[in-house]
Amino acid sequence: MNGLKEAFSRENLLKDLNFFALLNLGLVLTAVGIVYFKNPNHFAFGGTSGLSILLADLFPRINVGGFMWIINIVLVVLGFIFLGVKCMGWTIYSSFALSFFVSGCEWLYPSGVSLSGDAMLDLVFAVFLPALGAAIVFDIGASTGGTVALILAKYTSMEIGKALMVSDILIVLAAAVRFGMGTGLYCILGLIGKSFVVDGAIENIRLRKVCTIMTANPQPILDFIIHDMNRSATVEKAYGAYTHHELSVLVTVLTRRQALQLRNFLREND
C-alpha cells in the first residue's frame, strides 16, 4: 500500500512539474514576443501588453514591464472583487509571472529598436511567439489573463470571445491614433493573425493519430501499447478476404511521438 501511495505521489509530482514548466515556457515565449518584437514597433494588438505599450509611449519614465505590473495588479484586485478568488485560479500567477518575464527581458537585453529592421518580419514574430505561448498555456488549462473580459461576460450579456475582441479593437484604434495609420494597420493584421495562429497552434498541440494494426500475434503489441506507452486499445477479430486467416485488428489513439514509437516497434517485432 505504501508503495502504491509513493508511486501515485511521484506521478502527481511529475504532472505538477510538467504543468509548471509548460506554463512558464508559454509565458517566456509571450514575454520575448512583447519585448523584442511588439514594443520596438509599437504593435499594440490588445490585452495588457498592448495597453502597456501605449502607456509606456505616453509616459516614457515607466517601461512596458513596469506598466504590466501596475495593470496586472489592478486587474487582480478587480478580479478578487468581481469574480472571487476561485475564478481567478492560475490567472493570478500567470499575470505576475508574465510581468516578471517581461521585466527580466528588458533588464537582460534592453532593446528599443527593431531587431531585424523589417516591420513585416517583426510582425510575424510578434504574432507567432505570443500566440504559441498562449496556445501552450491554454492547452494545459491555464490562462495568460482576460480578467476584464471575464468581468464583462459575468455582468453583461456579452460572450467572453466578443468581450476580448471589443477590448482588443479599442486598443488597436488607440494605437492607430497614437502611432499613425501605418502602425494601426499592422496592429489590425496582428490582431487577425493572432487568433488564427492561437487556434492552429492549439489544434496541432492536441493533434492525435488513430493507429490501426492488423496482426496475427496481437499480445506483444498490446503489451507494448499498455505497459510501455501507458495507452489502451480496442481489439476486434477479423479474417483476410483472400487467405481467410484469422487476424486481430487493434485500434489505438496516440500522440505523434507515440505513433512513431509504435511504428518502430512493429517494424522490429511484427
Q: Cell 514597433 identifies what position?
A: 41
- 81 versus 224: the higher-pLDDT residue is 224
Q: Residues 145-159: what's their mean pLDDT?
A: 65
Residues 6+ apart with CB under 8 A from 136: 22, 23, 25, 26, 29, 201, 205
The SS3 assignment for 244 reads coil
Q: Cell 493533434 identifies what position?
A: 207
246-254, strands of its sheet edge to edge? 209-215, 246-254, 234-239
Q: Which of 41-55, 83-97, 139-153, 165-179 is predicted with the least confidence, judged by mean pLDDT?
A: 139-153
5-62 pLDDT tens trace: 555 566 677 777 888 888 899 899 999 999 999 988 889 887 888 889 999 989 988 8
70-122 pLDDT tens trace: 988 888 888 777 766 665 667 788 888 989 999 999 888 877 777 888 888 99
**Sign, CA torsion 14/19/25/27:** negative
Contact 248, 238 (CB under 8 A): yes
180: left (phi over 0), alpha (psi -120 to 50) or beta: left
Contact 97, 27 (CB under 8 A): yes
